[in-house]
Structure 1
Amino acid sequence: MAGGDVIIGLEVHVQLNRLRSKLFCGCSTDYHASDPNTHTCPVCLGLPGTLPVMNRRAVEYAIRVALALNCEIQGETLFYRKNYYYPDLPKAFQITQYDFPLGMGGSILIKGEDGEEKKIRITRVHMEEDPGRLVHAGTIDRAKYSMVDYNRCGMALLEVVTEPDLRSPKEARSFLDKLRNILEYLDVFDGGLEGAMRIDSNISLVGGERAEVKNISSHKGVEKALAYEITRQRSARRRGVAQVQETRHYDELRAITVSIRTKEEAHDYRYFPEPDLVPMRIADWVPEVEAELPELPDAKRERFVAEYGIADDHARSLTSEIRVANFYEVVAKRAPSRLAAAWIADVLKGELNYRDITIDKFSPDHMVEILSMLEGGKITEKGAVEVIRTILDHSGDLSEVTPTRVVEAKGLARAGNDAVKAAVRAAVEESAQAVADYRAGNEKAINFIVGVVMKKTRGRADPGEANRLVKETLDEI
C-alpha cells in the first residue's frame, strides 16, 4: 500500500544480546529459557544505594553498529535519566541518551517502491537500557491483569531512529530486513530471540497528526500495522474526524491498532544527566573498532558480482543473510559459480522459506554433489529439485542421506535416450488431438505432448531434449 500522502519514520530498538552481561550490571544475558525474574540483581532492579557500571563491550558494539550505518561517531557522549512511571521500569526512570547520542547522520540503502535504490537517512543511534516485559492476561486494552518479568530489565539496547523518508509499509519492511541483515553481519545480536528487535512506527498523512504505533515485534507486523493505520487515517480524513497525536498499540490477534494515550513530548520525561555515570570520551575507540568491522552486505554484494560473475539480483539475494552468503562462497569454490548462484538463490532459498527453516539444515557438500550431477547430465532440473526437497524433509540423521542415495532410492537418474524416444513415440500415439492441433498451426499444442513424455519418464527426461524429439517425430509422420 503506497501513496504520496504517506509519511513514515521508524524507531528500532535493537537488543545487543550477544553480550555476556547486561549494560550496567553483571547479570547474565542468557535469560530467554529461564523462569521469570531469575536474572536480576539490585542494580538492574534499581534498589536504593546501587550504582551502575558501564559495560565497555556494549559501547564497542554500539560503535560498530553506528559505523556500519554510516553515522558520524560523536567524540563524547553521556547518559541521561528519562523519567516516567511504568510497571516494567522498577527505577521509575530509564538510563538512556538524549542530547549527545553516540552516532548521528547515517543512512541505509534499500530497494524502494519503484525498484530503484533509495537512501533512508538515520537521524541518530543511541544507547539505553531495556525495561522489563509485561505479560497481559488478554489483549492490552481488555486484560484483567498484567504480570511483570524483570529478566530483560537492564539489557543493552540500541535505538536506531530514521528520518521520515519511508513512503509505504513495504519500504518500512525492506528497511527492517536490511537493518537486521547488517546487524547479523556484525554479530551483535540474535534476531531469533524474543525481544531482539522491537519497532515503534511513526506514521501520518501529509498535513495530518502523527500516530506512533508502539512495540511491534516482527517485520510482518510492522507492515500490517502500517497498512491498517493508513486505511484508518484516510478513512477518518474522508469522514472529517479530527486526528490527535497519539500512541497506539498493534493487536496482532485482531490485526488492528488501539489507542493507548496521547503522545508525550520530550519535556514530559524531564531528562537530566545521569549523576552516577561520567561522560564517555570515545573518539579514541573508533579506529580500533572500525578496523574490526567485517565485510558488510553491500560490499559483499558488489564483490560477488565482480568476483563470481553473477547477476546483481542473485548477489542481492545471496547476501541478504550472512549464513546464505557464507554457504554460497563454500559451494562456489567447488562448483560453477553462476550455476551455484541460481540454484541457491532461486531454488534452495525458496524451499527453505516454504518450510520456515534456515540454511543450516542443508550441507554445502550436498549442494556441490547435486550441481555436479546436474552439470554432468546424471539428473534433470526436476530431479535436482526433488533431491533438495527430500533432504530438507528428512527427519533423521543427515549423514544417512546423500544426493546420490536419494537419486538411487527414488529412481531420479536421468532417462537414457532409448527410454525417452520410446516415451515420445507413445506420447504422440496417445495425443491425437494435440497432434492435429499442432499440424493445424497451433505450435503450443506440442507442450501437451511434452508433458505426457515427462509424465511417462517420471520427470527424468530433459524437457528441452523431449521437445526436440517430439518435433522430430511429428515432422516424420
Structure 2
Amino acid sequence: MSLTAALSPDVLAKYQPVIGLEVHVQLLTQTKAFCGCINRYGGEPNTHVCPVCLGLPGALPVLNRQAVEFAVLASKALNLTINEESIFARKNYFYPDSPKGYQISQFDRPLAENGWMDVSDGKGGTRRIGITRLHMEEDAGKSIHDGFADSARSTYIDLNRCGTPLVEIVSEPDLRTPEEAYEYLTKLKEILLYTGVSDCNMEEGSLRCDANVSVMLKGAAEYGTKAEVKNVNSFRFIREAIHFEIERQIEVVESGARVVQESRLYNSAEGRTYSMRSKEAAHDYRYFPEPDLPALFVDNAWMTKILADLPELPEARRARMIADYDLTAQDAATFANTRSFADAFEAAAKTAKSPKRVANLILGELVGRLNAAGLELSQSPVSMQGIVQAADLVEDGKLSSKQLKGLFDIAFEKSEDFAAVYEREKPQQISDTGAIEAMIDEVIAANPKQVEQFKGGKTTVSAFFVGQVMRLSKGQANPALLNELVMKKLNAA
C-alpha cells in the first residue's frame, strides 16, 4: 500500500486524521423486517420474496417485533439511550437492487442515540468513542456483476436480501487512527455476538462497514472534507483502506488541491481506493415519514422485558473471571472472546476442585490440539466433563502432567472422551513415599559421580536424579513428592 509519492514523517505529522464509522448489521430474526418472508442467507435467487418486500402496489409493511427487540438489546449493550418513540421514514433513491425506489429507514427520530465505547489510547489508558445513533432499517437486494460480454457488463439482481432487518450504528468522528478504528470494530462485533442479535458474518454481508475519513491541520478549528470508503469486507482491509485514504488526502491538500466529498471503493489487491460516485447529502434522499407505518413505541414495561435477556457483556465478564477464578488478564480475554467459550469454561470451573487448573488444562492441552486438528470446541472429543475429571485427578495427585498428556494424545487419536480413555488405560501415579525413596536410593547408588558433583555445590544436578527416577518409575512417580525426596536424600548423602 503506497502512493505515487511517499510522504515524509514531517508532512504526516502536520495533519490530524478524523474517522467516523457507519456499521450496518443484519439482525438474526426468523423473518424479514416488514413481511413474513424467511430471513436466510442464500437460496435460489428471487425466491425469498413477496409483494411487501418487492414493494408491489397495495402491499403494506408490518414491523417485525423480534427485530425491535434485537435492536433494543444492541442499543443497550452500546450504552445508547433508547427513545420511547421513534419514527420510520422513506429514504428515496433509485437503484436496480431497490425495487420500491425507496428504503424504509429512520432519520431524525431514531430508535436510540448518544452511546459510547472505550478503545485503547495506545498508552495504557482508554479513549471514549461516541456513538451518535442506532437506527432500524431494511436491506436492499444484491447486484451480481458477471464480467463483460460484447463490451457490455452483465448484471443480475437477486432480491432475496430485500427487506432483511438491519440496524445502522453510526459513530461520532472521534476515531483518530486506523488502529483505533480496527479496535472499535473488533469490540463492536464482540458485543453484538454476545447479545446474539447477529452472526456478524462479513463474508455473507451480515456486517458491513463504511468509513468516513478526513484530514485537517493539527490545531485547526474545522474538520476537512470527508470521503466515504464503502463496502470493505474485512476489518483488516478497512484498516488498510483508512491508512491509504489518510495519505491520499494529505497528498491532495499538500499539492494545493481540494479533497472531493465522494464515495470510494477499496481495491485490496492494489491496496488503494478509487472514486465511485459523488457523495449524497441527506436532502438528496428526500426523507419523509413512512405513511404505511405508525410510530414505534418502546415503553418501560416492554423494555424491561427485552433487557432481561441482555447477557453479561465481554468487558465486565473478563473483569469478573479474573476475580472469580484467579485468571491472568490474557487468559480471561481468551475465554471471554466468545460467549460460548466463556460459558463452557465457567460451567466446568464451577464443578472442579481447582478452577485455575481447569483453565490451564483447557488452554495448555485442549486448545492447541483443537487448532491442530481444525476443530471447534463443540467438536472436541474431550468434553468439559472430561476436562474436569482430568483436572481433579491431577489436583489429587493421582495423575502426573506427563501421564495426562499421554491420555489426551490417545483421546484425540481415537476420538474418545477422557473418561473412556482413563478407564481403559488406568495409569497410576506412585505417591507412596517408601516406594519412591527405594527408587531414589537405587539411582544414587548407580551414579556416584553425580552425587559428588552435588556435594561440590552443583545443586542443579538434582534434575538428573529426578529424571532417572521418573524413567525407572515409567513416569508414574508423583513429581512434587519426587522432587522433595530427591533433595532430602542428596542432602543427607
- Smaller-chain TM-score range? 0.7 to 0.9
Structure possessing the higher radius of gyration over alpha carbons = 2
Deviation at 1:257, TM superposition (A): 2.8
Is 1:57 equivalent to 2:73 in the alignment?
Answer: no
Whole-angstrom distance in 1 between the partners of 2:56 and 2:187: 39
Letter in 1 for 2:192: L
Say which is worse superposed, 5-14 or 203-212, in terms of deviation: 203-212
Give the Å deviation of 1:101: 0.6
Which among 261, 276, 283 is matched to residue 299 of structure 2?
A: 283
Distance 1:114 1:448, change over 3 A: farther
The reply on whether 1:210 has 2:220 as its aligned counterpart is: no
Q: Name the CA distance, whole Å, in 1 between partners of 2:153 and 2:479.
A: 63
Alpha-carbon deviations, 1:432-477, whole Å to 9, x = none?
xxxx9xx9x9x9999999999999999999999999999999999x
Q: Residues 151-230 of structure 1: matches in 2 within 5 Å? A: 151-192=160-201, 194-207=204-217, 208-230=224-246
CA distance in 1: counterparts of 2:92 and 2:367, whole angstroms: 46
CA positional deviation for 1:102 = 0.3
Normalised TM-score (structure 1): 0.78
Distance apart, 1:294 and its partner CA: 2.6
Instruction: Tell me the CA shift for residue 306 of structure 1.
Output: 3.4
Instruction: Give distance in 1, aligned partners of 2:254 and 2:370.
Output: 44
Cα distance per residue 1:346-371 (max 9 Å; x no partner):
66556656766532223212322342
Are 1:403 and 2:418 counterparts? yes
**Residue 264 of structure 1: aligned partner:** 280
Structure-2 separation of matches of 1:475 and 1:337: 36
Letter in 1 for 2:100: K
Match of 2:6? none
CA–CA distance in structure 2, aligned partners of residues 230 and 451 of structure 1: 60
2:387 to 367, 370, 392: 367
Answering whether residue 354 of structure 2 is matched by residue 339 of structure 1, we say: no
Residue aligning to 1:306: 323
SS at match of 2:51: coil
Look up the match of 1:23: 33
User: Counterparts of 2:484 and 2:147 in 1: how far apart (Å)?
Assistant: 64
| Local SS of the residue matching 2:273 | strand
Q: Which residue of 2 aligns with 1:39?
A: 48
Q: For residues 275 and 302 of structure 1, what CA distance do their matches in structure 2 show?
A: 47
Could you tell me how far apart the structure 1 residues matched to 2:425 and 2:342 are? 31
The answer (yes or no) to whether the contact 1:407–1:413 under 8 Å persists in 2 is no
Tell me how far 1:302 sits from its aligned partner.
3.4
2:52 aligned counterpart, secondary structure: coil
Alignment of 1:250 onto 2:266? yes
Q: CA deviation at 1:264?
A: 1.6
Q: Is the 8 A contact 1:310 1:337 kept in 2?
A: no
TM-aligned CA deviation for residue 156 of structure 1: 0.6
Q: Deviation of residue 314 (structure 1)?
A: 2.8
Q: Which of 317, 321, 324 is 2:334 aligned to?
A: 317
CA 1:116–1:317: 2 relative to 1, 3 Å: farther
- SS of equivalent to 1:151: coil
AA aligned to 2:23 is V
CA 1:474–1:269: 2 relative to 1, 3 Å: farther
Q: Per-residue CA shift, 1:215-242, capped at 9, x if unaligned? A: 2233333233334434544555566664
Letter paired with 1:94:
Q
Residue in 2 that maps onto 1:81 = 90
Cα distance between partner residues in 1 of 2:440 and 2:477: 10
Aligned to 2:264, the other structure's residue is in SS state strand
Provide closer, same or farther for how the CA distance between residues 248 and 343 of structure 1 changes in structure 2, counting only shifts above 3 A.
farther
Gap runs ≥5 in structure 2: 2-11, 218-223
Contact residue 117 and residue 130 of structure 2 kept, 8 A: yes
Q: Deviations over 1:151-210 (max 9, x none)?
A: 111011001111122233333232222222222222222234722211112223334432
Distance 1:411 1:136 in 2: 62
Task: For residue 267 of structure 1, report the CA deviation from its aligned partner.
Answer: 1.4
Structure 1 pair 63/386, CA: closer, same or farther in 2 (3 Å)?
farther
* TM-superposed deviation, 1:52: 1.0
Bigger mean CA offset, 206-215 vs 67-76: 206-215
C-alpha separation in 2, matches of 1:41 and 1:414: 68
Pair 264,469 (structure 1): closer, same or farther in 2 beyond 3 Å: farther
* Aligned match for 1:330, one of 340, 347, 356: 347
Counterpart position of 1:13:
24
Task: Trace 1:410-425 onto structure 2 (pairs within 5 A).
Answer: none
The one of 290, 303, 311 equivalent to 1:274 is 290
Query: How many residue pairs get matched?
Result: 459
What one-letter code is carried by the residue in structure 2 that aligns with 1:403? F
Tell me if structure 1 keeps the 8 A contact 2:110–2:135.
Answer: yes
| Counterparts of 1:101 and 1:451, CA distance in 2 | 69
Sort the Cα spacing of 1:402 and 1:218 in 2 relative to 1 into closer, same or farther, 3 A.
same
Q: Could you tell me how far apart the structure 2 residues matched to 1:221 and 1:375 are? A: 46
Closer/same/farther in 2, CA of residues 269 and 33 from structure 1, 3 Å limit: closer
CA contact (8 A) 2:386 2:419 kept: no
Distance 1:64 1:460 in 2: 53
Instruction: State the partner residue of 2:154.
Output: 145
**Does the 8 Å contact 2:17/2:176 carry over to 1?**
yes
Q: For residues 238 and 287 of structure 1, do their structure 2 counterparts lie closer, same or farther at Cα, with a shift above 3 Å needed?
A: same
Distance 2:428 2:326 in 1: 30
Give me the whole-angstrom Cα distance separating, in 2, the residues matched to 1:181 and 1:28.
Answer: 26
RMSD (CA atoms): 4.5
Distance in 2 of aligned mates of 1:454 and 1:8: 61
Q: Aligned partners of 2:291, 2:48: CA distance in 1, in Å? A: 25
**Cα drift, residue 87 of structure 1:** 1.8
Letter in 1 for 2:115: G
CA, structure 1 residues 347+124, in 2 after alignment: closer, same or farther (shift >3 Å)?
farther
Question: CA 1:110/1:40 → structure 2, altered by over 3 Å: closer, same or farther?
Answer: same
